[in-house]
Structure 1
Amino acid sequence: MQHLEETAYRTWKADLLTQALDRAGIRADAVSALQQVPPYSRRRAVLAVRRSGEGVELGFRERFSHRIVALKECHVLSPGLFNLCRELKRHLLPFLQQKSVGDLFMSEMENGFDVVLSGTDLPDLQAREIFADTDVLPEIKRFSWSPSIGEPVEPVVQRAEPEVRFGETLVSPPPGAFLQPTAEGEALLCRAVLEGLPRETGPVLDLFSGCGTFTFPLSRSGPVRAVEGDLAACKALQNAANRRGLAGRITAEHRDLFRQPLRPEELDGFDVVVFDPPRSGAREQAAHLAASSVPRVIGVSCNPSTFARDAALLVEGGYRLASVVPVDQFLWSAHLEVVGVFVRA
């Protein structure tokens, strides 16, 4: 979508939300203007990597193809991440014994980079010794390997714990952990969530909390119970809270919210529930929220369609969509972040 004139692009992007709400029959009391992150700001990327006759191919997968498009320039990636791609390519050949395509997960953290190589053969001694040299890409704080996406991750080298800041708290996420794609987008989402809180806030429930993107900023207003299905992310959140002396203010619970959504009786007692599910949304959890007595629900989503679907369940259960904020942190793509504030009608 980089070919579109800016006004046309912004109109198209904002319409992704309004059209999704219209299809679901949802009316919002207030829809904010589209908020955007700047170019060259993406701090997280997944690239394809493969051994070839000329060395190493590294870049993005062409749509509906096995072809790898080399990175000659990119208006989305941060300069640090883009430069790392070019430098890392020079050191990956020993990790690629076969010509099958692997995945390279890269995240730019506060103190350096976290990298996970997936879908390749188990690294041999020659490969492991590359990053044993502290002069080789010292900006990489942790390099890990996994046989495939979703499989256990094995550290190859860790020079320091990669850290990311949520609110005022530094968190050390597990390898390949989910982060918001941009720090600027995360800040916009956090601001929208915090502005959606009532003037006086009691206990808050943070569902699909990850490593604490919203948990730690929310904890400034009151106690927060964070619930997350990824055990490693849940532990990282609790460990960071403990280090900051927030153990009495923040509690982290490991629970698969798709298999075991919190039921209405478990939601009682919370003044606000924040939920930020994956792109598929959280139909079952939204249905239980709709049947609860929680005064205010704040939904965060990267998919306007599933957001609207879940919003319809909340509205049917007696909530009113008081406000909604669209945030464009997936520049020139059909993805859009949404923050919606629902209050009991």
Structure 2
Amino acid sequence: MTEYRITRLGHQGDGIAAGPVFAPMTLPGEVVTGVQTGDRLHDVRIVKPSADRVSPVCRHYKACGGCQVMHASDAFVAEWKTGVVRAALTAQGIEAAFRPILTSPPRSRRRAAVSVRRTKKGALAGFHARASDTVIQIPDCQLLLPELLDALPLAEALATSGASRKGELTVQVTHSDGGLDVLVTDGKPLDGPLRVALAAEVERFRLARLVWGDELVGQRQPPFQQFGQTRIVPPPGAFMQATAEGEAALLSAVKEAVAGATRIVDLFAGCGTFALPLAQDAEVHAVEGEADMLKALDQGWRQTSGSKRVSTETRDLFRRPLLPDELKGFDAAVIDPPRAGAEAQVHEIAKAGIGRIAFVSCNPVTFARDAKTLLSAGYRLEWVQVVDQFRWSTHVELAAAFTAPHI
């Protein structure tokens, strides 16, 4: 049987041999065999293992598609993820000072989207198998908070009541101060009997909130989230950082990057992950495309004493970025765009010459592109902090600090 030597790890976590040929769950330096179909190896066997290979800590790893690199040592994953960011910057001709990566611990994920299918005997809840629509049960998942694992029977109960025989529910579960905050999509249309059944599950599982599609079915108490001194009730399914530890790491980096600022503009502000804690020391203008998120932010701020002023503006920053004359008066900016980055908005920030910029990104490639725009305008990239809150996955996040020439 043909042997393949793995030379590097791709961005999706697969080992890559000459060809290229992609081999899942392999590491650089390993010699493997397998059945090649197109550019992929199946039924992979390790002939010569890497010194960085470890035994996966989760018994579901081989079947479940939730993790990609659990077979690699923590040190290897840390170096690899930092290398992904470094390579993206190098491709744009950028050098940077990197701080040690900060990695969230096991069993710390506080939100997850669980897939659920009805079966002849009831229902099956879990994550999809690798490259498949098959649902794999995950009772001993090492990623999720214990409270989220407790939601798996809930997800199955919801599917038994409200999933079609051939369909699949997506049950998004978020841990909140009031209990589990649950949003269900792709379920049956609500009718009288289904409402009664779902309301009973809200009580049985003591949920904070259950939303079915776009309709609130039941709420025992508000699903509060804490941002700094402020408690908010986010809209159903609202974006949140995946772990409390990851959020704390990003917030610490953001605070350091804008330290000393008295007026800050927070772009792609969401529900106030950064805006509300920053308002303890500075006035903040929060800009976000989703009005419901800003409504939650504003309500939380108005019920908090001791914070400085937080103003809000609903605006699509892709179509209508803030212009330099609108950015006048701000001495710092926080920007946390989605994976597409913020090309148009960064061009306007560069023109405005805002003194300090805290840049948070979940895509090293678009971050590097936008960083080049700032550097071309004379900004300095002070440091990059890689944050791994999606442990054992290929996902990479980072925070970075930029300062204008006059600082």
Per the normalisation by structure 1, the TM-score is: 0.93
- Which letter does structure 1 place at the counterpart of 2:371? A
* 1:298 alignment counterpart: 358
Distance 1:33 1:275 in 2: 22
The answer as to 2:245 corresponding to 1:187 is: no
C-alpha deviation, 1:135, in angstroms: 3.9
C-alpha deviation, 1:283, in angstroms: 1.0
Asked if 1 retains the 8 angstrom alpha-carbon contact of 2:159 and 2:169, the reply is no
C-alpha deviation, 1:131, in angstroms: 4.0
For 1:196, which of 257, 282, 286 is the aligned residue?
Answer: 257
Distance 1:172 1:178 in 2: 12
- 1:165–1:129 distance in 2 versus 1, CA, 3 Å: same
Asked if 2 retains the 8 angstrom alpha-carbon contact of 1:196 and 1:341, the reply is yes
- 1:89–1:176 distance in 2 versus 1, CA, 3 Å: same
* 2:280 alignment counterpart: 220
* 2:378 alignment counterpart: 318
For 2:179, which of 109, 112, 125 is the aligned residue?
Answer: 112
Asked if 2 retains the 8 angstrom alpha-carbon contact of 1:94 and 1:126, the reply is no
Asked if 2 retains the 8 angstrom alpha-carbon contact of 1:328 and 1:336, the reply is yes
C-alpha deviation, 1:126, in angstroms: 2.5
For 2:199, which of 132, 151, 168 is the aligned residue?
Answer: 132
Distance 2:198 2:220 in 1: 9
Greater relative contact order (Cα 8 A, min sep 6): structure 1 or 2? Answer: 1
Distance 2:228 2:243 in 1: 15
* 2:393 alignment counterpart: 333
* 1:19 alignment counterpart: 87
Asked if 2 retains the 8 angstrom alpha-carbon contact of 1:98 and 1:120, the reply is no
The answer as to 2:208 corresponding to 1:141 is: yes
| Structure whose CA Rg is larger | 2
Distance 1:197 1:284 in 2: 22
* 1:258 alignment counterpart: 318
- Which letter does structure 2 place at the counterpart of 1:14? T
For 1:288, which of 348, 351, 358 is the aligned residue?
Answer: 348
Asked if 1 retains the 8 angstrom alpha-carbon contact of 2:139 and 2:149, the reply is no
1:111-155 deviation line (CA, Å, top 9, x unaligned): 2111011012213322221343364101x1110111xxxxxx111
C-alpha deviation, 1:98, in angstroms: 3.8
Asked if 2 retains the 8 angstrom alpha-carbon contact of 1:238 and 1:247, the reply is no
Asked if 2 retains the 8 angstrom alpha-carbon contact of 1:39 and 1:75, the reply is yes
The CA RMSD measured in Å over matched residues stands at 1.6
* 2:230 alignment counterpart: 169
The secondary structure found in structure 2 opposite 1:33 is: strand
The answer as to 2:116 corresponding to 1:49 is: yes
C-alpha deviation, 1:324, in angstroms: 1.1
Mark the runs of 5 or more structure 1 residues left unpaired by the alignment.
147-152
For 2:330, which of 270, 278, 282 is the aligned residue?
Answer: 270
Q: Summarize the alignment of residues 238-249 of structure 1 with structure 2, pairs less than 5 Å apart.
A: 238-245=298-305, 249=309
* 1:159 alignment counterpart: 220
C-alpha deviation, 1:86, in angstroms: 2.9
Asked if 2 retains the 8 angstrom alpha-carbon contact of 1:98 and 1:121, the reply is no
* 1:66 alignment counterpart: 133
1:267-295 deviation line (CA, Å, top 9, x unaligned): 11100000001111111111111211211
- Which letter does structure 2 place at the counterpart of 1:188? A
Distance 2:113 2:92 in 1: 32
- Which letter does structure 2 place at the counterpart of 1:189? L
1:170-208 deviation line (CA, Å, top 9, x unaligned): 01101111110001110111011111123x322000011
C-alpha deviation, 1:68, in angstroms: 1.4
C-alpha deviation, 1:245, in angstroms: 4.4
- Which letter does structure 1 place at the counterpart of 2:77? Y
1:318-344 deviation line (CA, Å, top 9, x unaligned): 211011111110111111111011111
Distance 1:6 1:328 in 2: 11
Distance 1:213 1:264 in 2: 25
Asked if 1 retains the 8 angstrom alpha-carbon contact of 2:155 and 2:171, the reply is no
Asked if 1 retains the 8 angstrom alpha-carbon contact of 2:114 and 2:155, the reply is no
Q: Summarize the alignment of residues 93-104 of structure 1 with structure 2, pairs less than 5 Å apart.
A: 93-104=160-171
* 2:44 alignment counterpart: none
* 1:31 alignment counterpart: 98
Per the normalisation by structure 2, the TM-score is: 0.79
Asked if 1 retains the 8 angstrom alpha-carbon contact of 2:317 and 2:345, the reply is yes
- When structure 1 is superposed on structure 2, of 93-102 and 129-138 the one drifting more is 129-138
- Which letter does structure 2 place at the counterpart of 1:276? D
- 1:91–1:293 distance in 2 versus 1, CA, 3 Å: closer
* 2:157 alignment counterpart: 90
C-alpha deviation, 1:23, in angstroms: 1.2
C-alpha deviation, 1:91, in angstroms: 4.3
Mark the runs of 5 or more structure 2 residues left unpaired by the alignment.
1-68
C-alpha deviation, 1:247, in angstroms: 8.2
